[in-house]
Structure formats: structure tokens, C-alpha cells
Amino acid sequence: MAFLLNRRAFFIIMKKYFFYLFITAYAINARAQDGFQRTDKGTVYKMLTHNTGERIKLNDVVTFQVIQKTEKDSILFSTYTTGTPAQTQVAPTGDLMDIFPLMTIKDSVLIKVPTDSIFKTQEDKRPHFLPKGSNLLFIMKVEKVQSLSEAMAERDKMLAEEKALMAKYEADEAANTNKYIASHKLIFTTTPSGLKYKITKASQKRKPLAGDTVFVNYTGRTLDGKVFDSSVAAEGTKAGLQRPVDSYQPFQMVVGHGEVIPGWDEGLLLLNEGAKATLMIPSKLAYAEKGAGDAIKPFSTLLFDVELVKVKTGKHTTVKHTPVNSTVKKPAAKKPVAAKKKS
């Protein structure tokens, strides 16, 4: 367990200093051996493959794969594993600027970085698998070399394609929602955010304020009628939800604090204690393009039948709005789909 904790601490350190390693010159005293060479600035490296072609130039944008490992071949980080290669623009200064001009597309290189340089001012954070005098090894392979204008054009094209795709998904969702409303002959009130709601049981008791604790019974379903969560035993059993019977009870939360999906925070503040309502929550106020598990697909409008069972006065604050199109994480077990987000 200690080893795991040390490794985790090391990952945190390396995430902070990863690009620092590539732009900072190191004082390397090891002599070149086993095919290793040293640049004028002291970077120790060995070319693993060396292709013909135009060399990388100042201001080029380089896309490359990188593996970070110990001298005993324990892999600490790999872009092959994350699935996202690294990218950087070649600058006039920095450690890698010694290496990039020696390379072209599809070239690969091994670079040694002394761990004593990394932990020089934080020796207490050095993990046992990187002892004094050891080196970190970086294996890099150049996948793409572009001029700055080429890289910017590629980025702009990708952003435009993503925007067009998002617009299509949102249009499809709106069409499905309107079709559902028409086919079921529903009448909703729509708020400026896009939340739709219908009071099914009115109440004259007070409305909650942001910061109050509320207790809510609910049943959530998708537009195709599938119940994905409920706090009501009869509804959960009918839908075949796999949860203990004693877990069915009103859901408790602090309203207006961003603990739940935005559609819940907004909708519950519209209700009086004791009232019941149906909330139709568009995906931008729920789980957006990410969805939530197998039950809730990306860009899913959700329906919640809710009952505001009780309001307990709390510390009143300004309503905390979650930005539209933000990612809302799947809640913890035994919490409703609208429940607290994981930090």
C-alpha cells in the first residue's frame, strides 16, 4: 500500500512538472555511453530511429507520442495508454529544443533526465522507486509536424465540425421532445433556461430558498418510458430497479448549491412545500453529451415526477447555477440520478 501511495504522489508531482521537464535545461554529468550522445546544453539522448526528410524547425507544431518510465522499465506515463498524443510548438529555448531540430516525422528518441534535478528542492517527495542518482527515461516518437498556420487551420476545422455535430444532436433532441409533448398532449410552462414544468398538485406552503434543505420523492424516466431511478418503493419495484427496499425514502439535498443536475436545482425552487410536479429537463440541464451510464444516453431529455415533501430552513445563499453544457457526473450509488455530483 505504501508503494501505491508513493506512486500516486509521484504522479501528482510529474503532472505538475511534466512540461517543465521538457523546457528546462538539466545539469547532466553522466558521460555518453551505449550510443547516447549529449547536446551542447547537456541533454543526454539516443536516436532510436532516424528517418530522412526535412528537420523540425523553430515555431513548428509537433505532435508526438511519449512514454515515461524508470530505468527498470516500469512505465509511469504513456500517451499510447491515454489515447491522446502530446503537442507542442517548438520555441527558441528549452531542453527539448536541443532535440527537436535533430528529428523529422516518425523519428524516435530516448532522453535521460536525472531524478536529482526533479527532486532537488523536494527530496521528501521522492518515491523509493526513483533513488538518488537514477534517471527518468522519456521515449518520444514524432507523429506529425505542422507549421503554426497549418495547426491552427486544423484546429479551427475540428472545432467547426464539433460545433456542427453538437447543433445536430441538439436539434434532434428538440424534435424528439416536441414530438413527445404533442403525442401526449402535454402543456408545460417553459423557463428561460429551457426547463419545462407542470404543477400536478398545488400547495400554499412556502417555497424553498437557495440554501434550504429539501426532502424530495421522485421518479425519473426517459422519453421512451424507461424508469431509471425512483425514491418511491412502488415505482422502483414496478420498474424492476435493483435496490434494497429500505433504501426507498425521500432524497435529501441542499437546494440551489449545485449538488444536483441544474434542472433539479431550478425546478425545485419553483415548487411550494407539499407540491407535486412533472419536470421535463433538457440534456443541457442534465447530463448533456456525456449521458449517465447505460440508462441515460447522451443528449437525453429527462422526465421527473417530483414531490417536495419537506423544506428545512438553512443558510440562504445566492443560487449557484451550473453553466449550460457543463459536464454533470453520474451520482453515487443509492442516490437518484439527479443527486449529488462526485467531486
Q: Which listed residue (26, 138, 197, 304) is catalytic?
A: 304
Tell me whether residue 3 is one of the annotated catalytic residues: no
Q: Report d(CA 70, CA 76) in Å as an integer.
A: 7
Q: Report d(CA 55, CA 51) in Å as an integer.
A: 10
Q: Which listed residue (10, 45, 119, 228) is catalytic?
A: 228
Tell me whether residue 40 is one of the annotated catalytic residues: no
Other CB atoms within a 10 A radius of the CB of residue 253 amount to 22
Q: Report d(CA 236, CA 232) in Å as an integer.
A: 6
Amino acid residing at 207: K
Return the C-alpha cell found at 132.
538518488
- Asked whether 214 and 268 are in contact (CB, 8 A), the reply is yes
Using DSSP's 3-state secondary structure scheme, residue 232 falls into coil
Closest CA to 200 of 312, 277, 296: 277
Q: How far is CA 196 from the centre of its chain?
A: 28
| Residue carrying C-alpha cell 539516443 | 46
DSSP state of 97: G
Q: Is 14 exposed, middle or buried (0-12, 13-18, 19+ CB in 10 A)?
A: middle
Q: Which listed residue (99, 118, 261, 296) is catalytic?
A: 261
Q: Report d(CA 164, CA 55) in Å as an integer.
A: 36
Q: Which listed residue (10, 22, 100, 218) is catalytic?
A: 218
Tell me whether residue 199 is one of the annotated catalytic residues: no
Q: Which listed residue (287, 296, 299, 305) is catalytic?
A: 287
Tell me whether residue 228 is one of the annotated catalytic residues: yes
Tell me whether residue 139 is one of the annotated catalytic residues: no
Q: How far is CA 207 from CA 67, 183, 297, in A?
A: 56, 32, 32
Q: Which listed residue (60, 95, 116, 229) is catalytic?
A: 229
Q: How far is CA 82 from CA 67, 77, 86, 297, 322, in A?
A: 11, 9, 10, 24, 28
Tell me whether residue 251 is one of the annotated catalytic residues: no
Amino acid residing at 249: Q
Name residues whose C-beta falls within 8 Å of residue 278's C-beta, 6 or more positions apart in sequence. 188, 197, 198, 200, 303, 304, 305, 306
Which residues are the active-site residues?
A: 218, 228-229, 261, 287, 304
